[in-house]
Amino acid sequence: MTGLDLVGHVPPCPSCGAPSPGSTLVCLVCGSVLDEPAHANHFTRLGIDPLVPFDAADAEARYIRLSRALHPDHHGGTDADSQFAAVELSAKLNEAYTTLLDEQRRHEYLLSLLDPDALEKHKTLAPDFLMEAMELSEELEDARTRGCRATIERIASLAKDEIDERMKNVTMACRHTMERIAAQQAHGNGAGGVPSRPLTLWNTDKIATLLHQARVYRRILRDTQR
Amino acid sequence: MTDPDQTSDIVIGIDLGTTNSLAAVVGKEGPRILHDADGRALIPSVVSFLDGGARVVGSKARAMSVTNPRRTIHSVKRLMGRGLSDVAAELPRLAYEVTTDGATDLARVSVDGRLYTPQEISAMVLTEVKQVAEAALGRTVEKAVITVPAYFDDAQRQATRDAARIAGLTALRIVNEPTAAALAYGLDTSREGTVVVYDLGGGTFDVSVLKITQGVYKVASTSGDTHLGGDDFDNAIIDRILELVAAKTGYDLKVHPQALQQIRLSAESMKVELSAGETSTLEIELDAGEPFRFTLTRAEFEDLIRARLDETIACCKAALADAKISTGDVDEVVLVGGSTRIPLVRRMVEETFGRTPHTELDPDRVVALGAAIQASVLAGGNRDLLLLDVIPLSLGIETVGGAFAKLVTRNSTVPCRAKEMFSTSVDDQTAIDINVFQGERELVRDCRKLGAFKLRGFPPMPAGLPRVEVTFLVDADGVLTVTAKEQRSGAEASIDVVPSHGLTRDEVKGIIRESIAKAREDFAHRELVELRNKAHNLVVGTKRVLAMPEMPFTDAQRDDLHSCIAELERLSHGDDAKALSKACDAFGEKTQALADEAIGAAIKAELNKELGRLPS
């Protein structure tokens, strides 16, 4: 059992029993620092549901509340051990926030939770995609040397569209995968049987490919801004 | 969560500057600067060594910079955590000697043949600040928040922490100067939004972009140059003067420490004058009694420093780009640091951001005030404020072919951590060497080496089988600690970190031990001086008594006393305090007995005289 249905699940606070403590790092209701459950991840640390469209303002508000609850400036007492613990917890929170704030990293992270090896395994991109990307890069390079702003802007907007489309598809595919896993596990658990693994990961290769393609377009987009 | 011990402790804020240092504290009335008995707040960050091992710190030391140039150490902050090769360019302008101990490249100050690390000199300044604060507060101070330039790297931050430790202070937090300034300004106006802090001090330049929301000060990005500040503007004037003197007379004043120091002070006051006036004139007398006159206009001065100021503006733009915002998104600009009094600086900042920068708070004091505010947060007195700062430069390790693999990217919010797996390349290898660097370039040779460490203590295994997980943890001070664990054996791999431009823990301990020993030595020296005085008084007193004709001493007694005097005089010229102390005591007893006898004899004689007059 990988507990994949739990990707965004924050269990009740083991200390005060509050049904939604807001994070697996610390209970925002009673202030207790928690022992993280095995499935804890960046989503549970910030209390963000990966199936709900990402809201940057909401994420920031959560991050600030959690920082106040964990930062070594406010917590950790005087002795070296508890100071060190507070530093570790804050570092975990910062890592979670930075990862989720960035659209590409957030999706790559989500994929790694569904299938840890997918991104590494499906690195190879189709020759025709690479050819197209290369032509676009060359066109950009040419426009840059000629100082042709109109072409640069057209390429930037094209790259943005390509990225957006892929991110939309990635979100959809992730959601689909998680829903299937959840349903399958509910079924599997109910029957007391073992879920059939290959079925659960049916489209993580496609997600990985979309993410790699998005990386290529992001590189082009960055070059348009240089 | 509040520890009563902690709240009852006092924590001060210290701005440990290149030129001046000062302390502040938060009281019931809010933050305030601490002054010395003469009402001065700014303590020049200068140490002057005198004859006989004594030293003075602060304004007394600064006053000695012309008469005692080779033993008066200023601007030591520029040497903190640096190698001799890093600072080579500025050495010709320093009147004191900077060298190394030959074993490492760490820059050390040489005075009368003794080498001091910059940490030790800084600790002397911190001790002075601590004493001023203790006198102002009427209580001992053991904890402080100390500010550093935001762009200080790991080695420079470590060096600052070590200086505090040597001075007997616990640095509860190292806070970035621009962040502290933002805190002081923010508290003043409870402002929200995006703030840019432009901090140009005596030796360093920083720019930080902060977002302030509901008391949380989150630094979005920072940039800067740890070798750009008022000192450089002084140097530009000095170079101009030296050039003109050489052209006119052929003298090379660089080889005359005293003249150089005199010109340094003159250049500094010319710079200050040009912030208010349009021209400034210097008149000095050269060796041959020949007068030398030099006039500098503000426009000429601006030409001398414009290139360096352009660099600060480039840093501002880089910081905005890193924060992913443009000048239009900036709500406020704050000026900090003494060098922002220069009109050209104000003009250039105003042009860049299209708004008048804030200058309400004294640019020399605002950082200390901010440090005091953060100190009150750490002391548990203020839970409304929270600082979230960033690491200014990326951290990483050397990989194959001298490439730099970044593990923590610049502008990551601290505390932060990164984990990396390492393995072996040879069978039965039980140790791995890892080099840690900080910087933004692709190759490690263009980055700054922080240190090397060796992972060891895991069992011999075939090549590639050990999985050593190394955790790089950057704490809220922006200082790195490295821990490691071998995953297969579960063994904690031990790490020996050898800092490239810093002191190891043992070296810091050694310096502290030495300073305690030095204190004992000073005490012993004082004791010896007191004993010599005592011996001198005994000798003089006894000689006087011996010269009195009425003293009924026998010849044997006189000879004995004379030889005792000779012995005391001999011991007084030596260093053996114990022997001298013993001799003094013995001599004292002897003369006391003799005096009793003599007085007894004198009284008897007087009595006899009296008795003789009595009618029988």
Query: Would you list the DSSP string of B423-446?
Result: --SSTT--EEEEEEEESSSSBGGG
Is A147 part of a structural domain of the chain?
Answer: yes
User: How close, in Å, is residue B508 to chain A by CA atoms?
Assistant: 19
What is the model's pLDDT at position B7?
41
Bridge partners of B281, per DSSP, are B295
Amino acid in position B91: L
User: What value does the mean pLDDT take over residues B603-609?
Assistant: 65
Is A138 part of a structural domain of the chain?
Answer: yes
Q: What is the pLDDT of residues B528-572, one digit of tens each?
A: 777 887 888 788 878 877 887 777 778 888 888 888 888 888 888
A33: contact with B, CB 8 A cutoff: no
Same domain, B433 and B485: yes
CB-side neighbour CA atoms (13 Å) of B554: 5
Same domain, B443 and B548: no
**Closest to B231 measured CA to CA, from B258, B264, B185, B192:** B264
pLDDT band at B292 (very low <50, low <70, confident <90, very high): confident
**Closest to B1 measured CA to CA, from A90, A33, A88, A62:** A33
More confident residue, B292 or A138: A138
Task: Give the chain A residue nearest B324 (alpha carbons).
Answer: A225
Same domain, A51 and A137: no
Q: What is the pLDDT of residues A132-177, one digit of tens each?
A: 999 999 999 999 999 899 999 999 999 999 999 999 999 888 888 8
Same domain, B263 and B139: no
Asked if residue B497 has pLDDT above 70, the reply is no
Same domain, B250 and B196: no
Amino acid in position B610: E
Same domain, B321 and B402: no
Is A112 part of a structural domain of the chain?
Answer: no
Residue A171 CA to residue B170 CA, distance in Å, equals 50
CB-side neighbour CA atoms (13 Å) of B86: 22
Same domain, B521 and B593: yes
Same domain, A134 and A216: yes
Same domain, B551 and B462: no
pLDDT band at B2 (very low <50, low <70, confident <90, very high): very low
B529: contact with A, CB 8 A cutoff: no
Same domain, A90 and A163: no
Same domain, A94 and A131: no
Same domain, A46 and A139: no
Same domain, B88 and B211: yes
Same domain, B189 and B89: yes
Phi, psi (degrees; rounded to nearest 5) at B282? -115, 135
Task: Give the chain B residue nearest A90 (alpha carbons).
Answer: B415
pLDDT band at B145 (very low <50, low <70, confident <90, very high): very high
Q: How far apart, in Å, are the Cα atoms of B505 and each of A81, A125, B498?
A: 18, 51, 10
Residue B391 CA to residue B412 CA, distance in Å, equals 6
Q: Which CATH number fits the domain that encloses residue B122?
A: 3.30.420.40
Residue among B153, B199, B234, B364 flagged as catalytic: B199
Residue B180 CA to residue A80 CA, distance in Å, equals 24
**Structural tokens at position B591:** 């003369």
Please give the mean pLDDT across all residues of chain B.
87
Task: Give the chain B residue nearest A75 (alpha carbons).
Answer: B1
Same domain, B298 and B311: no
Chain B residues touching A88 at Cβ < 8 A: 415, 417, 473
- Can B199 be counted among the known catalytic residues? yes
Chain A residues touching B476 at Cβ < 8 A: 71-73, 87, 90
Is A11 part of a structural domain of the chain?
Answer: yes
Check CB contact under 8 Å for B213 and A64. yes
**Structural tokens at position A1:** 């059992």
Cis before residue B415, ω within 30 degrees of 0? yes
Q: Cα B83 from chain centroid?
A: 16
Nearest CB to B5: which of A67, A71, A78?
A78
Q: What percent of chain B has pLDDT over 90?
A: 50
- Can B271 be counted among the known catalytic residues? no
A56: contact with B, CB 8 A cutoff: no
Q: Which CATH number fits the domain that encloses residue A26?
A: 1.10.287.110
Amino acid in position A25: L
Return the biggest CA–CA distance within chain A: 67
Q: Which of A67, A75, A87 to mutate to test the interface with B (most CBs of B within 10 A)?
A: A87
Q: Cα A60 from chain centroid?
A: 15
Residue B356 CA to residue A194 CA, distance in Å, equals 68
Bridge partners of B386, per DSSP, are B216
What is the model's pLDDT at position A218?
95
Contact, B478 vs B414, CB < 8 A?
yes
The last residue of one of the domains, among A76, A101, A126, is: A101
Asked if residue A198 has pLDDT above 70, the reply is no
Contact, B196 vs B387, CB < 8 A?
no
ipTM, two decimals: 0.84
- Count of domains forming chain A: 2
Residue B171 CA to residue A83 CA, distance in Å, equals 14
A65: contact with B, CB 8 A cutoff: no
401-440 in B: which are within 8 Å (CB) of A? Answer: 412-417
The last residue of one of the domains, among B370, B388, B406, is: B388
Same domain, B479 and B602: no
Residue B28 CA to residue B466 CA, distance in Å, equals 58
Asked if residue A70 has pLDDT above 50, the reply is yes
Q: Which CATH number fits the domain that encloses residue B250?
A: 3.90.640.10
Q: What is the pLDDT of residues B396-445, one digit of tens each?
A: 998 878 888 899 999 999 999 998 888 888 888 888 888 889 998 888 88
Domain span holding position B434 = 395-503
Residue A143 CA to residue B460 CA, distance in Å, equals 57
Residue B344 burial by CB count (10 A; 0-12/13-18/19+): exposed, middle or buried? middle
**Mean pLDDT highest for which of A209-218, B248-257, B482-491, B558-567?**
A209-218
Same domain, A90 and A136: no
pLDDT band at A76 (very low <50, low <70, confident <90, very high): low
Is A111 part of a structural domain of the chain?
Answer: no
pLDDT band at A60 (very low <50, low <70, confident <90, very high): very high
Residue among B77, B143, B211, B406 flagged as catalytic: B77
- Count of domains forming chain B: 4
Element spanning B12, H or E:
strand B11-16
Asked if residue B613 has pLDDT above 80, the reply is no
Task: Return the number of CB contacts < 8 Å for A and B.
Answer: 64
Check CB contact under 8 Å for B473 and A97. no
**Closest to B232 measured CA to CA, from B377, B349, B90:** B90
The last residue of one of the domains, among A51, A76, A101, is: A101
Is A183 part of a structural domain of the chain?
Answer: yes
Is A130 part of a structural domain of the chain?
Answer: yes
The last residue of one of the domains, among B503, B528, B551, is: B503
Domain span holding position A148 = 118-225
The last residue of one of the domains, among B288, B303, B318, is: B303
The last residue of one of the domains, among A60, A75, A101, is: A101
Same domain, B18 and B165: yes
Contact, B42 vs B57, CB < 8 A?
no
